[in-house]
Amino acid sequence: MSQRIIPPLWFDHSARQAVDFYLSAFPGSTELSATRYPTEGLPAFQADFAGDVLEIRFRLAGLEFSAINAGSEFRPNPSISFLVNFDPSRDDAASDHLDELWARLTDGGKVLMDLGEYPFSPHYGWLEDRYGVNWQLMLTDPEGEPRPVVTPSLLFPFGNTLASQAVDLYTGLFADLYGESAVGNRAPYSAMGDPDTKDLPKGMLAYSDFTLAGQWFAAMDSGVPQDFTFTEGLSLIVECDDQIQIDRLWDTLSTVPESEVCGWCKDPFGVSWQITPATMPDYAADPQAYRRMLGMKKIIIDDL
């Protein structure tokens, strides 16, 4: 089954360098495609990108990513991170391979949770790499349910029960459109017995997993106040088969009119989505299509 939802990473004039960095860090990774900006007719704010790389698609440990080559408007942050599971039942040297990837990704980045032993994993750490992308590296319990190597993880703001609300909305929507979407495990803070979280609102989740169109995701409510939230720096692309799917996703997920531009929208929880056709024009070969796209909010396939 092809991957329906693709996480795009926003880079400030550095998508090419970033992709090369990730390809060198993750064994068995692959570049899939690259598209370019038109060489003429760009709006003033994009004039310096004429003929430059627009987007690079690449695959890391089985998950397809998109690298967007743009300006300094946005940057990834910990609101969306990527869980990287190292399973000893699949890899006898899982712990060593975790350490090797940790060393590569922390080079030029910063550590958010030290690599070490935690109640949920004997070997785990959270880092932000040199480009602002967040990674959680975890030695997985081999007795647990098999998981993908890389899983996108959404962190909802402190003090609310948004994680469970979002998971319910997403799974219901994607189940209706594509099937293979369901809520998995839910672990509330109240069930953890941690005195530091005992007074958090009932229903706040320390962890949840779920599937959308057959893809694994994770979600949690932050257990502490944070000075960041979701931005366009790391969003989710949904590749649609037709206008009916675009319309249905847009009608449910787009709740912030001022964020509607070029197929981008923002849902009730602040998460940014790109609702696009599965096949997009080659903008370098068809600058008029690029200009038409820039004038759209929701993508209308027949007008593109």
Q: How far is it, in rounded angstroms, from Cα 103 to Cα 119?
A: 23
Residue 80 φ then ψ, to 5°: -125, 120
Per-residue pLDDT, 1: 53
Q: Give the chain's mean pLDDT.
A: 94
> What is the CB-side half-sphere exposure of residue 257 using CA atoms within 13 A?
0
Taking only the tens place, the pLDDT of each residue in 176-234 is 999 999 999 999 998 877 777 778 888 899 999 999 999 999 999 999 999 999 999 99
126 belongs to a structural domain: no
Considering only CA atoms, which of 235, 82, 236, 211 is closest in space to residue 153? 82
What is the pLDDT confidence band of residue 112, given thresholds at 50, 70 and 90? very high
138 belongs to a structural domain: no
Radius of gyration in angstroms for the set of CA atoms belonging to the chain, rounded to a whole number? 19
The number of distinct structural domains making up the chain is 1
Taking only the tens place, the pLDDT of each residue in 124-157 is 999 999 999 999 999 998 777 778 999 999 999 9
Question: Which helix (H) or strand (E) element contains residue 121?
Answer: strand 121-128
83 belongs to a structural domain: no
193 belongs to a structural domain: no
Question: Which helix (H) or strand (E) element contains residue 182?
Answer: strand 182-188
What percent of the chain has pLDDT above 70?
A: 99
Q: How far is it, in rounded angstroms, from Cα 174 to Cα 40?
A: 38
56 belongs to a structural domain: yes
Mean pLDDT of 279-300: 90
Residue 199 φ then ψ, to 5°: -95, 5
Taking only the tens place, the pLDDT of each residue in 221-279 is 999 999 999 999 999 999 999 999 999 999 999 999 999 999 999 999 999 999 999 99
The residue whose two tokens read 């998995």 is: 184
DSSP helix/strand/coil, 60? strand
Q: Which domain holds residue 282?
A: 5-75+232-303
C-alpha distances in Å from residue 165, one per residue of 26, 46, 168, 274 = 33, 37, 5, 20
Considering only CA atoms, which of 142, 108, 112 is closest in space to residue 124? 112
Residue 260: which CATH number? 3.10.180.10
70 belongs to a structural domain: yes
The residue whose two tokens read 């109640």 is: 119
Residue 248 near residue 270 (C-beta atoms within 8 A): no
Counts of helices then strands in the chain (DSSP H, E)? 5, 16
Q: By mean pLDDT, which of 12-21, 160-169, 274-283 is the weakest?
A: 274-283
Q: How far is it, in rounded angstroms, from Cα 250 to Cα 20?
A: 33
123 belongs to a structural domain: no
213 belongs to a structural domain: no
Residue 17 φ then ψ, to 5°: -65, -40
The residue whose two tokens read 């593109």 is: 304
- DSSP assignment of 78-104 equals TTEEEEEEE-TTT-TTHHHHHHHHHHH
Question: Which helix (H) or strand (E) element contains residue 212?
Answer: strand 205-212
Instruction: Identify which has the larger pLDDT, 125 or 304.
Output: 125
Per-residue pLDDT, 282: 87
